[in-house]
Structure 1
Amino acid sequence: MSFESLGLAPALVRALAERNYTAPTPIQAEAIPLVLAGHDLLGGAQTGTGKTAAFVLPMLQRLHAMGQRNDRRPRALILVPTRELAVQVNDSIRAYSKYQRLQVATIYGGVGMNPQVDALRRGVDVVVACPGRLIDHLDQRNVDLSGVEMLVLDEADRMLDMGFLPSIKRILGKLPGKRQTLLFSATFEDALKKLALEMLRDPREVQIAARNTIAEKVTHRAHPVDGNRKRDLLIDILSQRWQEQVLVFGKTKHGCNRLAEQLEKAGISAVAIHGNKSQAQRLKALKEFKEGKARVLVATDVAARGLDIPLLPLVINHDLPMVAEDYVHRIGRTGRAGANGEAISLVSPDEAQLLRAIHRVLKADIEMITVEGYAPSRPIRMGNDGPSAGRPSGNRPPSKQRRPHAQQNTRHAHAGNRGGAQGQEQRQRRDARTSR
């Protein structure tokens, strides 16, 4: 299948060809014709599947077909959860619209408002925005959304996780009722399903991957270790995997800063990225990582979405995410575009409940290996969801022990798929939002 066969205009096909994009991905092949036909769309696809082009390309074509308007109001609005994703979507729009006359404004926090105000007042065709900063502009009457003809919510589940639902509903109240709406998400929970029912009109649904799944070419394993020895084990792993760039996820902003400093002291070049960093600092850290000046990028979950790092071989969870679905988004940074990937989690005994929740989300087994010299002081008890379920504590078989190295054979531990306490999961979700 070619992009021409999907009905895309020659100008878009030419821009794609210059970027060596010759064949659409599955999400693009299914979504683009539906969007071009004017349907509302509910799209489910894991990260790294070409989702951005699946809505940007038909949006550009439809805007071109509608012709130019005489007023300065935006004609399309794309809502995203993070600054990094806003920048990525903006870059994609500019690349694909190379042979079209199109004005784009990117709206997010962490930078001054004046340049954004100037762009909006000059008039734009497309606004790419994080909900919080867009609300600021709406409150100051810097932007009029009454002319929006197309609305896209990208990474909608992430926006809900980050507490943007009230802002999204306020923004929806400023939009015309007659519009085309596209909603894309990697996971679908009850709150998101309810929002979709409110927003979409007779939507077509495209589901490329099973919900809450990750790329098939990503291998997983977990190393049980005491919390106070995680840093040493991480340094051991990184020292043996010295040729590879690695994305390391931490739990808190302060913890990520401290971990990056500790890695630097151990002779491992590292930078940190999180919500307290200014946009300039975050872009600088990401640039150093992409250019190979830093071998390790230490990040909170703010970087789980929107980071476009091609051919990243390894992701390490120094701390497990407080919300199990965030594991999917973290690991989505590796194994992209058909490449192989690897995910390693350092799990302390106190994180057993978080690991159980991840098992339930993945509906799959995770390799459990105790690294020689790093056995935890007490076992990780998986209860009814784990490999030791039903065994007397005194008859537990000896742990599997290995040195950390690049290639290991897989031994799976049965994870089960039993539900957890809803109240605890809600508390974990709230704690996760406040720690980013």
Structure 2
Amino acid sequence: MRRPQRRALAKQSRAKDGDEIRLLEAWIDAGKPLPGTKPPPPSEESSAANARARARDVVAKAAAGDYSDYGASTRFDELPLSKKTKDALRKAGYKEMSEIQRAALPHALCGHDVLGAAKTGSGKTLAFVIPVIEKLYREKWSQEDGVGCIILSPTNDLAGQIWEVVRKVGKHHNFSGGAIVKRTGIEQEKERINSLNILVCTPGRLVQHFDETPNFDCSNLQILVLDEADQILDKNFKSQVDIILSQIPKARQTLLFSATQTKSVKDLARVSLKNPEYISVHEQASTATPDNLEQCAMIVPLEQKLNMLWSFIKRHLKSKILVFLSSVKQVKFVYEIFKKLRPGIPLKCMHGRMKYEVQQAIVAEFSESTSVLFSTDIFSRGLDIGNVDWVVQVYLCLKN
């Protein structure tokens, strides 16, 4: 294709994007939910075909200037989202919204700060990834604009998993980004980090760049996301989070999501939340875990715990078992002892002193086969591993 033709197509594409952005901004402003409102229960009568037809009708009316109240939407294609995002969601198989997505997305899309809590596995990641993509799209963000969004995660593995969702939802957009998770050397990251629009990282790695990367600038930041916010706002990350907050503008949108959420005035003041929407879709639930997860506890004398664990593994040789232990030493000890005893099922171990690449390989192997994985709490937050039959916590950490 000749250069004049490419220029003409690029100009046409920019004009088309500009028209869509004006439509989306008008739709978002006209149909934005009032503060404190929650979506009504979804109708159980409408079929999938009727839902698709309703979604097409909503979009057609919006194009004609008749904007719907998207706060009651049940499907992604009923929301004021760009065509690029809707196409990516459709291709990834995302159609119906979960409870947390229905409650959080309307508020997040119109720029409200959100404090969201929902059970593990309820779809919290999409509830903040979609607003991130859409906000940068409507702002016409490009590589020259630098860092527009930071998503903080407590662990490298969870950060990598979040980045995969960002890639999936933003595949048709032109944003740059990456997961800063010690996968590559710090020097390689320094060369590119200022040209990335979306950073997914742990607090420690981000602070390292603030300290060591020349001219690292987040002064144009549009949106800050804290995933597993209760853990990130905990005292273990306090000094790192304080450094990060001192380096980014206070005039931004902030989204906090977790399975259990804090309403501490002190914590919320630290992250400069402004009139946040408190969203808790499972606040009446007795636990922060899915309803179909069966839980039980056994009181076992300390000297009998390993015998009990061995017996449990021997009785479930065709199961995928995740075993949590309290320290790296415990993980190494139990793994080596049980490996010598040969229980009849593959054994693996993982802890924070392993290289990130080794951890990723172990997670991949555990995901694909029946085995027992001994791990510290590095594996305890938000990772999406399918078909795990048993999770065993050997040494409970009791808190007042």
Of 344, 347, 357, which residue of structure 2 is paired with 1:270?
347
d(CA) in 2 for partners of 1:270 and 1:162? Answer: 34
Greater fraction of residues in helix: 2
Q: Which runs of 5+ in 1 are unaligned?
A: 323-353, 358-424, 426-436
Specify whether residues 117 and 306 from structure 1 end up closer, same or farther in structure 2 by C-alpha distance, changes over 3 A only.
farther
The secondary structure found in structure 2 opposite 1:248 is strand
Whether contact under 8 Å (1:40, 1:182) holds in the other structure is: yes
Q: CA deviation at 1:109?
A: 4.2
* Residue identity opposite 1:65 in structure 2: R
1:309 aligned partner? 385
1:247 aligned partner? 322
Q: CA deviation at 1:110?
A: 7.1
d(CA) in 2 for partners of 1:54 and 1:261? Answer: 41
Q: Where in structure 2 are the equivalents of 1:47-126 lying within 5 Å?
A: 47-69=120-142, 71-109=144-182, 112-121=185-194, 123-126=195-198
Whether contact under 8 Å (2:141, 2:148) holds in the other structure is: no
Q: CA deviation at 1:16?
A: 1.9
Greater fraction of residues in strand: 1
Whether contact under 8 Å (1:151, 1:181) holds in the other structure is: yes
* Residue identity opposite 2:251 in structure 1: K
Specify whether residues 124 and 88 from structure 1 end up closer, same or farther in structure 2 by C-alpha distance, changes over 3 A only.
same
d(CA) in 2 for partners of 1:187 and 1:208? Answer: 11
TM-score normalised over the length of structure 1: 0.70
Provide, for residues 100-120 of structure 1, a one-character-per-residue CA deviation record: whole Å limited to 9, x for no partner.
Answer: 111112223475212221221
Which segment is superposed worse, 257-266 or 85-94? 257-266
Whether contact under 8 Å (1:271, 1:297) holds in the other structure is: yes
1:180 aligned partner? 253
The secondary structure found in structure 2 opposite 1:47 is coil
The secondary structure found in structure 2 opposite 1:218 is coil
2:364 aligned partner? 287
d(CA) in 1 for partners of 2:258 and 2:78? Answer: 26
Whether contact under 8 Å (1:105, 1:116) holds in the other structure is: no
User: Are 1:297 and 2:369 counterparts?
Assistant: no
* Residue identity opposite 2:164 in structure 1: D
Q: Where in structure 2 are the equivalents of 1:322-341 lying within 5 Å?
A: 322=397
Whether contact under 8 Å (2:151, 2:199) holds in the other structure is: yes
2:290 aligned partner? 215
Whether contact under 8 Å (2:154, 2:202) holds in the other structure is: yes
1:169 aligned partner? 242
Q: Where in structure 2 are the equivalents of 1:271-420 lying within 5 Å?
A: 271-292=348-369, 295-320=371-396, 322=397, 354=398, 357=399
Q: Which runs of 5+ in 2 are unaligned?
A: 1-73
TM-score normalised over the length of structure 2: 0.76
The secondary structure found in structure 2 opposite 1:86 is helix
2:82 aligned partner? 9
The secondary structure found in structure 1 opposite 2:121 is coil
The secondary structure found in structure 1 opposite 2:236 is coil
Whether contact under 8 Å (2:149, 2:223) holds in the other structure is: yes
Whether contact under 8 Å (2:143, 2:176) holds in the other structure is: no
Of 40, 52, 69, which residue of structure 1 is paired with 2:113?
40
Whether contact under 8 Å (1:106, 1:116) holds in the other structure is: no
Whether contact under 8 Å (2:143, 2:197) holds in the other structure is: no
d(CA) in 1 for partners of 2:231 and 2:142? Answer: 33
Identity of aligned residues (%): 31
d(CA) in 2 for partners of 1:200 and 1:117? Answer: 30
Whether contact under 8 Å (2:325, 2:394) holds in the other structure is: yes
